[in-house]
């Protein structure tokens, strides 16, 4: 059971947040459930005291799997379960490849949600049953995911902040390091992503978000 666990529910639909909270509250006594409707709230509330983040793919401040990428950079030790109404094999596979500990369909019932959460808390990976995840059909996305997997957590965090439009000096201030350190991180990111500029890096990252949005429309 998940007695005493601390969860963060991140979804911009209050009714669905309420449904997730009801499911989580049935896992055990003394569970603490934090909630937010935007990605700024995720970044503010997610810390090492959280046992599991339940993350919607699209909410104010983020779109698609780029939010998962950013969260894995800022809090690599905190498990993340992606929660989405679009449980196609492509989205599930990409989420897992980018560091999610599980994928929960928004069509799942209370018991399935609880089973998924318990699986992740026990150290497993949860995916909806009877789905063949197959292989990535888009070679550009496959290459991008492989390149993103080579980034260190700090490089991933810096990339996410680049995507937010922050300057090197702003990132240095946020991370409490020197601007020279950030420049070194940016250089390494560009090399690993196979691009020549910050702008190209952000455009490549946006492909992940654009793909997820396309799947949701």
pLDDT of residue 216: 42
Identify the sign of the CA torsion 180, 170, 68, 217: negative
Q: Which domains does the chain have, with CATH numbers?
A: 6-121 (3.40.50.2300), 139-216 (3.40.50.2300)
Beta bridge partners of 80: 53
CA angle 51, 55, 59 (to 5 degrees): 145
pLDDT of residue 70: 87
pLDDT of residue 217: 37
- Burial group, residue 29, by CB count within 10 angstroms (0-12, 13-18, 19+): exposed
pLDDT of residue 119: 94
pLDDT of residue 183: 96
pLDDT of residue 213: 39
**SS3 readout for the chain:** CCCCCEEEEECCCHHHHHHHHHHHHCCCCCCEEEEECCHHHHHHHCCCCCCEEEEECCECCECCCHHHHHHHHHCCCCCEEEEECCCCHHHHHHHHHCCCCEEEECCCCHHHHHHHHHHHHCCCCECCCCCCCCCCCCHHHHHHHHHHCCCCHHHHHHHHHHHCCCCHHHHHHHHCCCHHHHHHHHHHHHHHHCCCCHHHHHHHHHHHHHHHHHHHC
pLDDT of residue 41: 93
Residue-level pLDDT, tens digit, the chain, 217 residues:
566 789 999 999 999 999 999 999 888 778 899 999 999 999 899 988 999 999 998 888 877 788 898 888 888 889 999 998 888 888 899 999 999 999 999 989 999 999 999 999 999 999 988 777 888 878 888 999 999 999 999 999 999 889 888 999 999 999 999 999 999 999 999 999 999 999 999 888 887 765 443 444 3
pLDDT of residue 124: 93
């Amino acid at each position: 059971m998940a007695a005493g666990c601390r969860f963060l529910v991140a979804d911009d639909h209050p009714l669905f947040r309420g449904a997730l909270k009801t499911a989580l509250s049935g896992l055990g006594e003394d569970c603490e459930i934090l909630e937010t409707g935007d990605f700024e709230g995720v970044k503010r509330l997610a810390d090492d005291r959280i046992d599991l983040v339940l993350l919607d793919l699209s909410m104010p401040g983020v779109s698609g799997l780029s939010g998962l990428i950013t969260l894995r950079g800022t809090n690599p030790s905190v498990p993340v379960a992606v929660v989405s109404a679009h449980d196609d094999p492509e989205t599930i596979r990409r989420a897992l490849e980018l560091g999610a500990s599980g994928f929960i369909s928004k069509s799942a019932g209370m018991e399935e949600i609880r089973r998924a959460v318990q699986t992740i808390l026990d150290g497993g990976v949860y995916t909806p049953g009877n789905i063949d995840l197959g292989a990535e059909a888009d070679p550009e996305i496959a290459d991008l995911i492989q390149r993103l997997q080579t980034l260190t957590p700090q490089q991933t965090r810096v990339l996410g902040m680049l995507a937010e439009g922050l300057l090197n000096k702003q990132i240095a201030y946020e991370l409490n390091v020197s601007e020279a350190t950030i420049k070194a991180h940016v250089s390494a990111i560009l090399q690993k992503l196979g691009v020549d500029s910050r702008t190209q890096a952000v455009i490549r990252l946006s492909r992940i978000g654009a793909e997820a949005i396309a799947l949701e429309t």
